[in-house]
Structure 1
Amino acid sequence: MNEVLSQDEIDQLLTAISSGEIETESVTQVQDQRKIKIYDFKRPDKFSKEQIRTVSIMHETFARLTTTALSAQLRSMVHVHVASVDQLTYEEFIRSIPNPTTLGIINMDPLKGSAVLEIDPAITFSVIDRLMGGQGEGSKVNRDLTDIEQTVMEGIIVRILGNLREAWSQVIDLRPRLGQIETNPQFAQIVPPTEMVVLVTLETKVGEVEGMMNFCIPYLTIEPIISKLSAQYMYSSVRSGATTENLNILKDRLSTVAIPVVAEIGEMNLTVRDVLSLRAGDVIRLPDVRVGDPMTIKIGNRKKFECRPGLVGNKVAVQIVHRLEELGKEEFEELVAEEGE
């Protein structure tokens, strides 16, 4: 920020320069340094600050989902959160991770190319120990995974990828698939060493064991959707109206909601003493109900249809003969909420 000097300050500055206390070359040099911005043409920035921020927001959702999923599966306290999101070359990423480690090659369908999910050995062996019945202690010896341990980690990574799909759902319908697991970073050359990537670093804690998970996405893979990596796009997609796809999803989910359906012959009030004294063969006379009257079908606690009893094969059934009322939107929401409780 530029400051305006007073006359006294100007006089003091001129006096200092005249006496040799301040050299004019040093003043000029300081001013010139402020105008210089260092830029490395060998590793140009491919992602803007807004895009990096959007990627961070997406993977914060991924971290929350992964925390819940792993806590339930491992029956242990698990905490995952985004530590940083950076852009660097693929070679720098490979050099920054240990050898051996757990590297999952992820197919990012429908995007082209692959990504890499790297799990720190301490976290890997803690998860394996926990699933094998141990206390979740990490291995003190850094070694390759056995065939059984690799199979166990495949199941963990596949479960994690389900959370990744949900976290990316506002941007693209991602269908990530685990291709293979490598332990040597040199064998995971998915892009040229100088290719720029975005690296999402996730601090992970399983019980008392701490480590890192790194999700590396090449620029070539994410380039087709780079314009969608903005907060404005994500918020607009959230606010978009009820599209056909969203309606179909809602219908599919509502179709699995269980709601009790009861065929009611009639009702009457009885004291607790009368109910306790009921025995097999007793007859309860229902007021205002005749033999030929239709029964009432109640959905939840609302009367919806009239029906008549009968048989279908060897099973008791009812036949709907009349609709009593239309279930409004507000009533339906109240009904679903009551059943959810």
Structure 2
Amino acid sequence: MQIDDRAHPTTGPERYDFGRPAALSREHTRALAGAFDAFARQWAIQLTSKTRLRAHIAVERVNLETYDEYVATVPLTTTLVICAAEGSDDRIIVEFPLDTALSWIVKMLGGDVPGRIDTRPLTAVEQALLRALMDETLGHLRGSLGALLPHELSVSAVQYNSAFAQIAAAQELVVVARFSMKFADRTETATIALPAASLLERLSRTASAPHAATDPGVVRWHVEQTPVELTLRLTPRSMRPSEVLTLSVGDVIPLPHGQDRPLDLAVGDNVVASAAVGANGARLACVVTSSDLSPSLAEELQ
């Protein structure tokens, strides 16, 4: 019996490029997926509050690709938000459908999104709104990735044609995170591409660093560097719902706070000090008059 070689084509050995790993290591994939998952939750909360559209965002996968491979998977017409890192030549791409960007802007301006939106480049005003929205998104991205993005990020440009963007060299490696974005009954896809060389280098250094659980100093540093909201407030008063519902313009609500008593300086629900109202130039300020921290804790924080 004669075997037709055309039905069983033979292929020679494939060359392995040692300069380019075939894929992310399992440890790197797990670490990046966890960081991007935390970012996805923050991004969904942000979009829900800004656009009044209930958003659900989930990480689909994290891959290592060349820039050419990445561009080939992105729609030809889309929103490419190019982000620059302060003090670095790295460029980060946040990509999502152009009609999705337009629907966000319509909702941010208080309008209703029609069933179908014609895609078009954004106007100057629309770009300003999108940049402001993305600046907040980049803050969430940097907060989620932590030491993997040591520089501040800002929007440097918005482009619409993925084929002509040329943000990186064709064979430059990028780490690509793909997200599914669900708004009501519509599901879209978004991507984030980061330069692989610097990201993987920082990821390797982070993996080889002492684990936070075994280094109390690292845990304390993170706690001390976490921003908290400081509130200057009067002593609160309890009211029944029936009283609140009958309030009208001009009503006077007596407060239990004495006129000669300092105000409470609080973090969350915890009062940490007493303070009086003051001024710092043209701005209001408060002058701390006493601290409610225990002496032992105050000495420890020195």
Name the TM tier (shorter chain). 0.5 to 0.7
Tell me whether 1:237 sits opposite 2:237 in the alignment.
no
Name the residue aligned to 1:249: 225
Of the three residues 269, 294, 302, the one matched with 1:328 is 294
Higher helix share: 1
Tell me the amino acid that sits aligned with residue 225 of structure 2: I
Q: Partners in 2 of 1:92 and 1:52 — Cα distance?
A: 19
How far apart are 1:112 and its partner, in Å?
3.9
Q: Kindly report which structure 2 residues correspond to 1:202-281, keeping only aligned pairs within 5 A, or say none.
A: 202-228=179-205, 230=207, 236-237=211-212, 240-242=215-217, 245-246=221-222, 248-249=224-225, 253=228, 256-258=230-232
Of the three residues 86, 89, 92, the one matched with 1:115 is 92
Task: Map Cα deviations across residues 182-231 of structure 1 (whole Å, 9 max, x no partner).
Answer: 1111332222111121110011122333211110112234244131454x
How far apart are 1:80 and its partner, in Å?
0.9
| Residue pair 1:126, 1:206 contacting (<8 A) in 2 also | no
Tell me whether 1:92 sits opposite 2:69 in the alignment.
yes
Task: Map Cα deviations across residues 77-122 of structure 1 (whole Å, 9 max, x no partner).
Answer: 0111101111111111112211221101111335541111111224
Tell me the amino acid that sits aligned with residue 132 of structure 1: L
Tell me the amino acid that sits aligned with residue 328 of structure 1: S
Q: Partners in 1 of 2:155 and 2:261 — Cα distance?
A: 54
How far apart are 1:47 and its partner, in Å?
3.0
Higher strand share: 2
Q: Partners in 2 of 1:144 and 1:173 — Cα distance?
A: 32
Q: Residue 216 of structure 2 aligns to a residue in which SS?
A: coil
How far apart are 1:50 and its partner, in Å?
1.4
Of the three residues 96, 112, 116, the one matched with 1:135 is 112
TM-score, L = length of structure 1: 0.59
| Residue pair 2:103, 2:117 contacting (<8 A) in 1 also | no
Q: Kindly report which structure 2 residues correspond to 1:1-341, keeping only aligned pairs within 5 A, or say none.
A: 40-41=16-17, 44-45=21-22, 47-137=24-114, 139-169=116-146, 171-228=148-205, 230=207, 236-237=211-212, 240-242=215-217, 245-246=221-222, 248-249=224-225, 253=228, 256-258=230-232, 327-328=293-294
- Larger Rg: 1 or 2? 1
Q: Which runs of 5+ in 1 are unaligned?
A: 1-35, 262-294, 306-319, 333-341
How far apart are 1:299 and its partner, in Å?
7.2
Between the two proteins, what is the percent identity of the paired residues? 20
Tell me the amino acid that sits aligned with residue 188 of structure 2: G
Please tell me the root mean square deviation across aligned C-alpha atoms, in Å. 4.1
Q: Residue 112 of structure 2 aligns to a residue in which SS?
A: coil
Tell me the amino acid that sits aligned with residue 170 of structure 2: P
Tell me the amino acid that sits aligned with residue 241 of structure 1: P
| Residue pair 1:85, 1:201 contacting (<8 A) in 2 also | yes
How far apart are 1:40 and its partner, in Å?
4.8
Tell me the amino acid that sits aligned with residue 45 of structure 2: T
| Residue pair 2:95, 2:192 contacting (<8 A) in 1 also | yes
| Residue pair 1:203, 1:210 contacting (<8 A) in 2 also | yes
CA gap 1:299/1:155 in 2 versus in 1, 3 angstroms: closer
Tell me the amino acid that sits aligned with residue 179 of structure 2: L
Q: Partners in 2 of 1:227 and 1:141 — Cα distance?
A: 44
CA gap 1:76/1:40 in 2 versus in 1, 3 angstroms: same
| Residue pair 1:101, 1:185 contacting (<8 A) in 2 also | yes
Tell me the amino acid that sits aligned with residue 160 of structure 2: T
CA gap 1:217/1:327 in 2 versus in 1, 3 angstroms: closer
